[in-house]
Structure 1
């Protein structure tokens, strides 16, 4: 049974997750219908329930291509699943949406793109009063000049199912562009409008465009004739000309759309940006795109600029969105395998990003994500060969009302009756306490004081909360055990409290206890005389301004002074009111030059070395990433003027974070990068054995090996320092003496965690050399060294044989190494008589063969010199 450290350190090699399903092949596409989930892999189409229970599968491969399906569209209203592809010939097939093994219709027809080409396809609903067809299949793909077609979905049309004919003539959108890539498309049913988003490329530039089609125009020609187009720009800080993914954001008055744009520089920590646009009024044309029969030469389209750029990251790949009241909740997939949740308020201000899921490896999140159509409480993501069903809210992990509110998640609130943090629909017939619309700007509790008479002070306390009902609510203000309010019945109407007290209690610390149901929120308030904070000072300082705001008083910027609050109102933020008064300090500013190493797994890393100057005043290290609203803190140890050491703390996210050094005045100095990445993974050991005396150089191969700090053998629990091979990216170590032979498990240690290697590691008995023979040839001396057969498998880099004549040493060139012998040859030395009489190691502190002697074989010459067999183990 493995020891205590491995109960904590060893990560599971296999993950069994109820909300994940793995497939035999990589996922090429997946879609969600009203009652089923459909996943397309290399060779099969899978039908699943929404809970990821697989029901049926269908082979879709052929001898030419492993996956022939290029279009996968659920048509729920018709009870069918439409697939098109490129088998032996191009084809489209209609499957039963509840049983994909039941083929309803098949036709050899060219509809979708070729294998590996990009496309967009979805159902477009038409007003039946205008067009009796009811619905079309819109297909957008680059195939010659034709890029967008509308296909019949019923056999009742004049051309039959999948026909693009409209009133006995063909209708489509065409282009004169050579490089066109369709990224996304969707229909806004409430407006009868469809949108398409494409990337274009010329020899000199890349652009992103949007097409707008009016479905209300009825038949195909009418829809295409009303084609509108515009160019989309992103962003002000740098050009990001490639669209990677997009989503529609549910809105009432307008069409808000979010897109992930790339600058195509993956080394840039802000390579991708997520931007919001209003695409309600796309007008004009873009050169190179038009309806068939027209000339695609005019350009009168507008260029859309973002309403807001809400998030920047190194490697976003996908995005999806829901709306709850005035809040927008975005779900962002990344190339390094994370699902990030980002909340926006009604002004598009972003809250703290939250990581809902992260993979242990670098599996990228698929460009499209889908919500559970029943209640949108789960989002489906695909990572290489896996589909995951992730809850959009993780309310259960917040155990108190205060923690629930601190999450700043509008999908979570405190259910007063059930006494837990939950979603609103899980809190029936009870008060559900949640964050108000301006919570990004408000702390949970703040207070203000006003002078109501020469001797009386009024205190007004506000909670930044809202409720669906009338929860049990009360407030108490005490100094010690004494109530400080003039009246015993303190006014308390959710979410406000008020209290009057004598000015004799000024400069007293008062405990404010707010009770909501069974939850108590306690805050210590220091009551001060607002007028006295600055009245005796000729130099107004930043500290005085902070004291004024923190005491619930009002700060006046002109003249700069502190005064009583005249009437309750929104809390003034310290960073806004006092920023102009921030002054310097007498500290010598620390500087950071380098960090060694600067890469860590998301489990953290121990004893990293920071180099710089003036570091003796540093008290702690701040580590803050793009996904962190509050920096992590790491204490400093072993610090000097130019170096210090600290431990990199674990992170819930992958990616780059910024490091700065904090001095006693609270300022943070310097800016250097740490990269959090996936865990190390061991793929092999070479060689897999060493001799009992130790000292053999063992190479360990794998990924992210630069994160490995040491090697641990189990069950001996011996730990060995690792050395990094910069040329191969692997690590190596030198196992020392072991009292017993046997097989051991090998673990890679990093931070306070470890992973097990795929290979076992063995100690074998020391090699035993039994003798040698020599044979003089015409121009060389052949030396054969005998040893007891073993499984050590010496390599040529580990053995060095040389002959010595007088003061000169001559190389014995290896010919072969076998389990029971070693053969080498020394070029002829005039007048030399050479035998082998001893075996020694080259370095006194490394190796295993000291004091071992081999008796010479038959001497065929009269004089003797010495040949040494050396084990090469250079550090």
Structure 2
């Protein structure tokens, strides 16, 4: 239904791709006709250049520097009114298809949309409007020359993909180095899709599997003589879904492992983080998809969204909340048998950090010890969480600095507080406090006694004065 040919402009700086739709349209008016050329990465091939569509032909011009030596996978989507059809090829630099003139080389040249010159016996660019050799049948003028073994397909990986297809799938087998095309088809040949390969060796083919409908499809390979061999099965399934994040928060410095819970997550290629914009790799573990939160670039609480990328399509996911980095206050040490126990105090936050997310290292001079057996106790009542760990077989170590690693975040706590020192200090301070308390108590009692005795003394003195005065008066009366 669709054929193509390639040529270069007179300046040799640009490549022209010409596509012809071999269709007969019966309609009272000229049909609405358009073409879209895209690369295997989903980018527009003709971006910034001319793209002309006049039924039944389309033309796309792009810079020659965008055509790699190994070829470029291109898909053209033709739209005629409400109907669409697509075809994929591996465009090649015609002048680089070289070698001994054989049926195989001729067929490879023609399959690439180039012109095989029988006079010069070389592959060259196809002049526009020239159809000198646009079919592989013309290569029959050469002896077959195909002294090659039949290709065999052992497997295709992955063999389950989503409706959107899959980038960089691999076919493994034997004698694959002469394959020119890959065919994906269902039980009905109307669903036939021919796709180019991205790389080729004797035992491996790398390709992009295009999107399709739910169900099983067969995969075969084509030789230069047009024959097809082998059959593998690839199954199209539903798109991934993003249901839940665990945990749904991260510290500002990033590096926290975030689990995405959902279905068919094995089809996700990467994650598009929206704020700040960046592309993140993923790891698939059981039914979970894991990625590591990047830095938020700010120390305040904020929400950011991200999306799942499947091939070149996007699936919206959940919201991740960033909080400020955790803040550690102090640490203490205490000998515990043969081990040294380290207790670290941390301000209460909303991160709900678990033991497996923390790595603690203690420094004695230039010697670094890893603190093992972490235990976290959360306490909102006092506004402080505690983290306990132990340095094994180092009960007498004099720790001067503790480093806490959490994702991309490293926090250093200085100024050790030895627990034994505090215990001894407490035993010394308590008696002093008791003595001071007793002295204060006795002083207060003494003051209270003085306050009570002073009025009594005054009364006694007054009585003595009155007795003396009465005696004096009696004496005067006798005289």
Q: TM-score, normalised to structure 1's length?
A: 0.29
Change (3 A) 1:617 1:601: same
Partner residue of 2:352 out of 769, 793, 802: 793
Matches within 5 A, 1:373-392: none
Residue 303 of structure 2 aligns with which residue? 743
* Deviation of 1:609 (Å): 2.4
Shift of 1:650: 1.2
Q: Could you say what secondary structure the match of 2:322 adopts?
A: strand
Q: How far is 1:764 from its partner? A: 3.2
1:812 aligns with 2:373: yes
Aligned to 2:190, the other structure's residue is in SS state coil
Q: Check the 8 A contact 1:801/1:824 in 2, yes or no.
A: no
The structure that has the greater radius of gyration is 2
Q: Is the 8 A contact 2:257 2:290 kept in 1?
A: yes
Show the counterpart of 1:642.
203
Q: CA deviation at 1:710?
A: 0.7
Name the count of aligned residue pairs: 283
Which one scores higher on RCO, CA 8 angstroms, separation ≥ 6? 2
Tell me how far 1:766 sits from its aligned partner.
Answer: 2.9
Q: Identify the match of residue 292 of structure 2 among 734, 744, 753.
A: 734
Q: CA deviation at 1:641?
A: 3.0
Distance 1:769 1:600, change over 3 A: same
Q: Contact 2:254 / 2:407 at 8 angstroms: preserved in 1?
A: yes
CA 664–764 in structure 1, closer or farther in 2 if over 3 Å, else same: farther
* Aligned equivalent of 2:316, options 747, 753, 756: 756
Give the C-alpha shift of residue 675 in structure 1.
Answer: 1.0
Are 2:182 and 1:602 equivalent residues in the alignment? Answer: no
Q: Shift in Å at residue 584 of structure 1?
A: 10
Aligned 8 A contact 2:370 2:391 in 1: no
| 2:342 pairs with 1:783 | yes
Indicate yes or no: 2:326 matched with 1:767. Answer: yes
Deviation at 1:590, TM superposition (A): 2.4
User: What SS does structure 1 have at the residue aligned with 2:403?
Assistant: coil
Separation in structure 2 between the aligned mates of residue 814 and residue 664 of structure 1, nearest angstrom: 66
Q: 1:786, 1:830 → 2: CA distance? A: 21
- For structure 2, list consecutive stretches of 5 or more residues without a partner in the other structure: 1-21, 32-143, 422-479
Structure 1 residue 666, shift from structure 2 partner: 1.3
Relative to structure 1, the CA distance from residue 812 to residue 633 in structure 2 (aligned partners, 3 Å threshold; closer, same or farther) is same
User: Mapping of 1:231-246 within 5 angstroms?
Assistant: none
Determine the C-alpha separation between the residues in 2 that align with 1:795 and 1:662: 55
C-alpha distance after superposition, 1:649-674 (max 9, x if no partner):
111x2011111122211122221111
Contact preservation (8 Å) 1:771, 1:855: yes
Alpha-carbon spacing, 1:747–1:641, altered in 2? closer, same or farther (3 Å): same
Return the alpha-carbon distance in structure 2 between the equivalents of residues 592 and 671 of structure 1: 6
Matches within 5 A, 1:47-86: none
- The answer to whether residue 397 in structure 2 is matched with residue 839 in structure 1 is no
Q: Cα gap change, 1:809/1:612 in structure 2, threshold over 3 Å: closer, same or farther?
A: same
Instruction: Name 2:263's counterpart in structure 1.
Output: 703
Give the structure 2 partner of residue 713 of structure 1. 273
Q: Kindly tell me: are residues 818 and 621 of structure 1, through their superposed partners in 2, closer, same or farther at Cα, counting changes over 3 Å?
A: farther
| Contact in 2 for aligned 1:802/1:811 (Cα 8 Å) | no
Query: Equivalent residue of 2:343, what SS?
Result: strand
2:226 aligns with 666
Note the alpha carbon deviations across 1:76-135, whole angstroms, 9 max, x for none: xxxxxxxxxxxxxxxxxxxxxxxxxxxxxxxxxxxxxxxxxxxxxxxxxxxxxxxxxxxx
- C-alpha distance in structure 2 between counterparts of 1:751 and 1:707, whole Å: 9
Q: 1:402–1:803: structure 2 CA closer, same or farther, 3 Å change rule? A: same
Q: How far does residue 828 in structure 1 lie from its aligned partner after superposition?
A: 8.4
Q: Are the equivalent residues in 1 in contact too, given 2:173–2:204 (CA < 8 A)?
A: yes
Equivalent residue in structure 2 for 1:823, among 387, 393, 396: 387
Question: Shift of residue 681 of structure 1?
Answer: 0.6
Helix, strand or coil for the counterpart of 1:616?
coil
1:802 to 1:818, Cα distance in 2 relative to 1, 3 A: farther
Quick one: distance in 1 between partners of 2:395 and 2:357?
A: 31
Distance 1:716 1:840, change over 3 A: closer
CA spacing shift, 1:858–1:419, aligned 2, 3 Å? closer
- 1:834, 1:861 within 8 Å by CA — same for their partners in 2? no
> 1:499 matched to which residue of 2?
none
Show the 5 A alignment for 1:26-425. Answer: 402=24
* 1:683 Cα offset (Å): 0.6
- Mark the CA change 1:591 to 1:693 in structure 2 (over 3 Å): closer, same or farther: farther
**Aligned partners of 1:774 and 1:763: how far apart in 2?**
32
CA displacement at 1:646 relative to structure 2? 1.2
Q: Distance in 2 between matches of 1:849 and 1:697?
A: 13
Question: What residue in structure 1 maps to residue 466 of structure 2?
Answer: none
Deviation at 1:607, TM superposition (A): 1.6
Structure 1: runs of 5+ lacking an equivalent: 1-399, 404-413, 421-582, 863-875
